[in-house]
Amino acid sequence: MAFTPFLDISARVRNGGAGGLLSIAFPPKDTKRFYALYTDDVGIRVAEFRIASRDRATTSKSRILLTLPHSTARDHYGGQLQFGPDGFLYISIGDGGDGGGNAESLGSWWGKLLRINPAAASGSPYRVPSDNPFVAAAGARPEIWAYGLRNPWRDSFDRQTGDLVIGDVGQARADEIDVVRHADGGGSAAASCAPSRSRHRPHPTTSRPGSRSRPLASSRSARTAPAMSTW
């Protein structure tokens, strides 16, 4: 049986290690375009593609929104794109495998969750929401919405509260779940969860009283009593 993929960018994508085609996100109110997060020879890319028909996309009119050159370690690329309830595009990027410094630096996209409006603006392939938490911070990248992450491979918005639940990779024995409260409007993601119970401790951040870390068992948040009791 012949199979024709919806999107074929195999000529662009470079696999290996933690790289490859990492995620695709479709805007909730736009049926003509979508976005992909992948790695190539240069580094991490976020690109926009057009939908040609119900079951085929075209690469002829694609455009690059973000480019982040490979880290020295070529590891911890993150792994998810998604549109939030506010209509903006959220981009998870790992720390590049540097051991912690990148995630704490507001001058770097590594180890962050970015938030952008993917619509092109004059002279820019995207727009930065004016209410991003570090728009006015000196030396900070304005696209940053949350920082202090090691390798956020999946995240999910709670449909009732708007809180964002982030699955972050630990080391050897335990992963970490971070919760960014909607009311906080972004900021330090790792501050919402105690350090992972592993031999490799995550980035040095302060923890809120009563917060706990648990092994990550699911890529999506679930609103049930046992699940919510985790945090």
Instruction: Identify the residue with better confidence: 190 or 199.
Output: 190
Q: Where residue 54 falls among pLDDT bands split at 50, 70, 90?
A: confident
pTM (2 d.p.): 0.83
Query: In this predicted structure, what is the pLDDT of residue 190?
Result: 53
Q: What is the rounded distance in angstroms from the CA atom of residue 226 to the CA atom of residue 156? A: 17
Contact 101, 76 (CB under 8 A): no
Query: In this predicted structure, what is the pLDDT of residue 79?
Result: 87
Q: What is the pLDDT of residues 30-49, one digit of tens each?
A: 989 999 999 999 999 999 99
- Domains, the chain: 21-228 (2.120.10.30)
Q: What is the pLDDT of residues 62-92, one digit of tens each?
A: 999 999 999 999 999 998 999 999 999 999 9
> What value does the mean pLDDT take over residues 112-129?
95
Inter-CA distances, 98 with 50, 70, 101, Å: 35, 12, 7
Instruction: Identify the residue with better confidence: 192 or 64.
Output: 64
Query: In this predicted structure, what is the pLDDT of residue 171?
Result: 74
Say how many CA atoms lie within 13 Å of 153 toward its Cβ: 15
| Intra-chain end-to-end CA distance of the chain, in Å | 47
